[in-house]
């Protein structure tokens, strides 16, 4: 096989690889999987919010419970003081303090009831979020399995083409191969064109007569004067 033919085959091979990868990326399962991942990220955000809400409620409950323990102890101490004193002034002062502590105990109990109700709602919300996350994970797994099934043949084709590509590159002059690779990177995967009449087969630009004559009299492999890709003028070396 000539170097020119190897280069043409390489470009064809690269074109097939690009088409196969596009076909693989275009499978509906790919979109479905990406949607699942976006949805999971959204749900994870909600889950973090629920955890934050739960931690906040638990912190408040713990704080109130500790305060309640102190209030109960203080009420007990005040009651003991009442029981041991017959002084009217002491009794009046202690009774006033006792009433304040009893009121605070009642307020704490009310706040705790409200927080416990809120905790139940947060727990229910956490269960709902967990169920949503489970459904999304199940859906992604389902689509992934279908993607593997459908995409397996395409991936095998790509692997075969890439192996063929390596063999073709080995048959091409290293300097030309390097230039082709650079152009392919720069020109959206197409680094080689053909001269078709007076036009470049890729950019389709008309080549002026003077440039055309230079190409026809020059080497079999040249360069498009317009898009600057490598150009096969003749398939003979």
Is 232 exposed, middle or buried (CB count within 10 Å of its CB: 0-12, 13-18, 19+)? buried
Please state, in angstroms and as integers, the Cα–Cα distance from residue 58 to each residue in 50, 82, 106, following that order: 12, 36, 20
Q: What is the pTM of this model?
A: 0.61
Average pLDDT across the chain, whole number: 94
SS3 113: helix
The pLDDT of residue 149 is 87
Q: Does residue 60 contact residue 93 with C-beta atoms inside 8 Å?
A: no
pLDDT in tens, 69-118: 999 999 999 999 988 888 888 889 999 999 999 999 999 999 999 999 99
The pLDDT of residue 85 is 85
pLDDT band at 235 (very low <50, low <70, confident <90, very high): confident
pLDDT in tens, 164-191: 999 999 999 999 999 999 999 999 999 9
Q: Does residue 52 contact residue 45 with C-beta atoms inside 8 Å?
A: no
Does the pLDDT value for residue 9 go beyond 90?
A: yes
pLDDT in tens, 13-67: 999 999 999 999 899 999 999 999 999 999 999 999 999 999 999 999 999 999 9
Q: From CA 152, how far away is CA 131, in angstroms rounded?
A: 31
What are the structural domains of the chain?
24-169 (1.10.287.1490), 174-232 (no CATH)
- Would you list the DSSP string of 13-78? HHHHHHHHHHHHHTSHHHHHHHHHHHHHHHHHHHHHHHHHHHHHHHHHHHHHHHHHHHHHHHHHHH
């Amino acid at each position: 096989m000539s170097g020119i033919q190897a280069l043409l085959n390489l470009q064809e091979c690269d074109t097939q690889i690009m088409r196969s990868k596009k076909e693989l990326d275009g499978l509906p399962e790919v979109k479905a999987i990406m949607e699942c991942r976006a949805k999971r990220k959204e749900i994870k955000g909600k889950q973090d919010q629920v955890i934050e809400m739960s931690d906040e409620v638990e912190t408040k409950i713990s704080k109130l419970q500790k305060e309640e323990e102190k209030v109960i102890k203080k009420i007990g101490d005040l009651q003991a003081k009442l029981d041991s004193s017959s002084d009217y002034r002491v009794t009046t002062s202690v009774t006033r303090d006792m009433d304040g502590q009893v009121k605070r105990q009642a307020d704490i109990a009310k706040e705790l009831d409200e927080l416990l109700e809120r905790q139940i709602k947060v727990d229910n919300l956490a269960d709902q979020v967990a169920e949503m996350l489970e459904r999304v994970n199940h859906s992604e797994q389902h689509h992934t399995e279908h993607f593997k099934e459908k995409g397996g043949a395409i991936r095998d084709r790509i692997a075969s083409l890439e192996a063929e590509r390596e063999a073709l590159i080995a048959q091409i002059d290293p300097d030309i191969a390097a230039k082709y690779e650079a152009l392919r990177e720069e020109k959206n995967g197409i680094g080689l064109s053909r001269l078709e009449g007076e036009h470049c087969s890729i950019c389709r630009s008309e080549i002026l007569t003077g440039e055309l004559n230079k190409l026809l009299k020059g080497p079999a492999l040249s360069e498009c004067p317009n898009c600057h890709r490598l150009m096969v003028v003749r398939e003979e070396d």
